[in-house]
Amino acid sequence: MTDTPKPAGFDQLGLPPEILNAIEKLGYETPSPIQAQTIPSLMEGRDVLGQAQTGTGKTAAFALPLLSQLDLSDRRPQALVLAPTRELAIQVAEACQAYAGKLKGFHVAPIYGGADYRGQIQQLKRGVQLIVGTPGRVMDHMRRGSLDLSNLRTLVLDEADEMLRMGFIDDVQWVLEQIPEERQIALFSATMPKEIARIAREHLQEPVEVKIRVKTETAETIRQRYWPVGGLHKLDALTRILEAEPVDATIIFVRTKNSTVELADKLAARGFASAALNGDMAQNLREAVIDKLKNGKLDIVVATDVAARGLDVKRISHVINYDIPYDTEAYIHRIGRTGRAGREGDAILFVAPRERRMLRIIEKATKKPIEKLELPSAAAVNSARMQRFRERITATLEGQTDLAPYRQLVEEFLAQNEVDPLDVAAALAAMAQGDQPLLIKEQEPKQRRERRERDDDFEGARGRKRGGYEKDRKLPAPDEGLERYRIEIGREHGVRPGSIVGAIANEVELDSSYIGRIEIYPDFTTVDLPEGMPKEVFQHLKKVRVSGKPMKISRFDEASSKPKGKPKGKPKGKSKDKPKGKPKFKRENSGE
């Protein structure tokens, strides 16, 4: 295998060390075309007119230079991103928060319609450097005087043609007329209708024009499927697929270099012939891994996008996107490792609940629907395991192994013990199997609660009526395996049990059925969570926002946390049908 030239990295785009460290931890290895062409111009203070489809990585293209130039000692709004929908505004705000992980004192406020004004006004009063919002709600706050953009330095118009289609273009025009004359503007649009072109001419000053043509072709011989992450842990789901699918060789894509080693080790511990492939490996080691994959001494390679560039191994039957890619071009490059030269191949994509939008973007970009994968059942996995065991027996009987001494051993054992020969054979089979159970049991599916059940009525529907509440009543101890936490959001902030369950379950991919009793008081809430929460998860949850406020989670000390009023509704108790197995904590999009 010849060594391909290494693409230019983010460190060559003029970004500061804090931003480079943050995006490296997020798993970004090399900039996408739009990032490589846009970031240097924005870092120089130039206006940019970008024509690029959703899913090309344009959020990072404007967010990274924008964050790099903020004055964190100034709590006034310095940058504004206008987005057409609430969902996109939230997504961009969350991405910026992740990119700014190493920036102390950074604050971002998502501002969109359909949400309570009071919470948004409180955020703005506390001070933020970055606003991400929909045009109508941003305009409303400006007219109310709750949003002052006199210090604005940068404005980003994201998906401008979509704002035009949704009828927001007059609001956008109004905002553009109110902001300071000395400012930088970046306008991104998938298409360039006349109205958007007019706005660009009127408000952008000698813009750098960037036009990205996205590769959208995927081989017709590749079957594309996705599995909605839920119920089973991702690793358990992955091993089921590897055991039950007709797999030859597989490439599993993850985001970070560390993840390649961690996942390869976990798969090896489960009996799979697997190895990591990442950019930190010496060239001779990379070539050795690929040679083993080619000649059948290795069945699974866990790789990052960069490490797998140009990889062409005929026996690759499956590509599994264990971590969803950041853009559509990466997805197309990944699945192109299978189904080559007219051969059939399978591509499987793991999609967490918060990644559904990216799934739709991929489908739109490739102009192909991606079918839902029904995860192999325990019965299917067990059937595959039994068949492989039979094949091992047959291969041993037909192989070169000298069975004579073993036959003599068994004959002597049977002569000395009154034992059924089948029991002896079964005992020998168990010895050969080792510590790993031959068969698995079906896990109970994840209990998905509908949104309408995540309100106070759901708590009342549990059939446990409660009367008054004594202020100093001692709460029941947490169930076995749980410990109690306190979050600094309560009834006066409009929080509901379902909001807390959804926030925690989505942020750390914890099955909601593992979340125990929730008690909501006027100014704080208690929640019972599984013991053994990792430190990094605990620190992340402190920053997670519910009802517009950070949870600021801490371990509950009942002596110093006397309730100041009645709890809201009924307590959320543990279900009688407790989920089986140990709960798994996992940071979303952390690459861990």
pLDDT at 513 over 90: no
- 298-337 as b/e: b if 16+ CB within 10 A: bbbbbbbbbbbbebebeebbbbbbbbbbbbbbbbbbbbbb
Predicted local confidence at residue 550, as pLDDT = 83
The SS3 assignment for 253 reads strand
Predicted local confidence at residue 305, as pLDDT = 85
Predicted local confidence at residue 139, as pLDDT = 94
482-493 confidence digits (pLDDT tens): 889 999 888 888
pLDDT at 128 over 50: yes
Predicted local confidence at residue 482, as pLDDT = 83
pLDDT band at 114 (very low <50, low <70, confident <90, very high): confident
pLDDT at 210 over 90: yes
Cα–Cα distance between 405 and 7 in angstroms, integer? Answer: 59
Residue 445 identity: P
pLDDT band at 187 (very low <50, low <70, confident <90, very high): very high
Predicted local confidence at residue 63, as pLDDT = 96
Q: State if pTM tops 0.85.
A: no
Q: What is the mean pLDDT of residues 108-133?
A: 91
Task: Answer whether 254's CB lies under 8 Å from 306's CB.
Answer: no
Q: Average pLDDT over the chain, rounded to whole? A: 81
Task: Answer whether 561's CB lies under 8 Å from 505's CB.
Answer: no
- 136-156 as b/e: b if 16+ CB within 10 A: bbbbbbbeeebbebeebbbbb
Q: What domains does the chain contain, in order, with CATH numbers?
A: 10-211 (3.40.50.300), 222-377 (3.40.50.300), 379-433 (no CATH), 451-560 (3.30.70.330)
Contacts of 174 (CB under 8 A, 6+ apart): 139
Q: What is the mean pLDDT of residues 359-368?
A: 87
Residue 531 identity: E
pLDDT band at 535 (very low <50, low <70, confident <90, very high): confident
Cα–Cα distance between 180 and 246 in angstroms, integer? Answer: 61
Paired tokens of 228 = 């909605």
Q: What is the mean pLDDT of residues 383-399?
A: 74
Helix (H) or strand (E) holding 258: helix 257-269
